[in-house]
Amino acid sequence: MSDGRGEDIVDDILRRRLAAGDPLPPQRTPALDRTSLEAVMHEITTPQAPESGAVDAPRRSRWWLAMPAAAAAAGAVWVGSSLLGGGSASQTPLAVPSPKSTMTISGPAGDPTSMTCLPVSVELIRGAQFAFDATVTAVDGTTYTLAPTTWFKGEPKDVVVLQGIPDGAALIGIPNFVVGGRYLVAGGDGQVGACGASGEYSADLLALYDKAFGS
């Protein structure tokens, strides 16, 4: 059989604790009977089961705190793979221009003042190893860069570089190459043809080229 005084002491302790946690003044707090006190004690000592679908607040807090670090790590991996050539396969690779094919020729060897020319003819031009129609795109001293548009003979190239035209070249029928000028050029053994085989573009010289190469 329980001691009534002991229960009264417990009741008094509970009332004091409830009063300390109640923001209302003691005079406005209604007295609790034994049934109410037992209900309060039951709620305090009985663990509450989580509601269905409830989210664990501490875990949620930890998740949001971890998200920036995870996102930063994912970003670092993406940046690293991009710098190392990884990433999406749909990325368009940069187009790499193919190198232009070039042929280099020189002026005729020897002193132009000591040379003698025969009249230009179809036979003379036909003996050339290469022949083309080109425009001069650049001049640097005695170096001339030409862009061929038509090849009559020889292996076609994108660019022809003519170097070392000697002084007095006009004496042996080599034209004066200028930027923007159009020329018919024939030659062999890596040298530009002289004696009128090469010259400024004209209908007469073109007719000789057509006959020589069957155009």
Q: Which CATH number fits domain 102-213: 1.10.645.10, 3.50.50.60, 3.90.870.10, 2.40.50.120?
A: 2.40.50.120
Give the pLDDT confidence of 137-149 residue by residue, as tens digits.
999 999 999 999 9
Give the pLDDT confidence of 95-111 residue by residue, as tens digits.
555 678 999 999 888 78
Give the pLDDT confidence of 144-195 residue by residue, as tens digits.
999 999 999 999 999 999 998 888 888 888 999 999 999 999 999 999 999 9
Going from N- to C-terminal start, the domains of the chain cover 4-22+30-43, 102-213
Q: In Å, how far are 29, 161, 174, 179, 205 from 196, measured between CA atoms?
A: 126, 19, 7, 20, 9
Please determine, for residue 126, whether its predicted confidence score (pLDDT) is greater than 60: yes
Nearest Cα neighbor of 165 from 109, 87, 121, 204 is: 109
